[in-house]
Amino acid sequence: MDDVLRLRYERLLADMGALCATRVADDESLQALAAQLKSTRVVSEDWDLNGAGGHFNFETPESTPAVKDLAYIDAFCDDADGVPIHIIMHLVDGRLNWGEWYRVYGFDKHVGTWPPISIRAAI
């Protein structure tokens, strides 16, 4: 299962790392977050009962620097029907810990495209 999750989320983690520059104010935090995203692994994923979103849990090596003054990073992608999906990755004690994704509206429909093909910065 580890290899499946690694392959499934490898691109999303890399794309979130590329968006770090727009979300982090100082170089030290940017470097710490970029290092974490390179070495973070998704260790589990759980879909909400209705399939309109879900959660994932991360494992981040203790050897990566902690991020200061940042509680989360987020981005958007589009579902197959064009509805935006919000992606949020939460940090706990300066380390990526867990994340979530959900359709911004249309909660009665299952997410059709996951993981996303591409993401864009949250405004």
pLDDT of amino acid 59: 93
As to burial, measured by CB atoms within 10 angstroms (0-12 exposed, 13-18 middle, 19+ buried), residue 8 is middle
For 77-87, what is each residue's pLDDT tens digit?
999 999 999 99
Read off the pLDDT of each residue in 88-110 and give the average, rounded to a whole number.
93
24: left (phi over 0), alpha (psi -120 to 50) or beta: beta
pLDDT digits (tens, 9 = 90+) for 25-81: 556 777 788 788 888 999 999 999 889 999 999 998 888 878 887 788 899 999 999
Q: Which tokens in the block code for residue 95? A: 């380390």
Q: Which tens digit of pLDDT belongs to each residue from 2-19?
A: 788 888 999 999 998 888
pTM: 0.89
Count helices and strands (H / E) in the chain: 2, 6
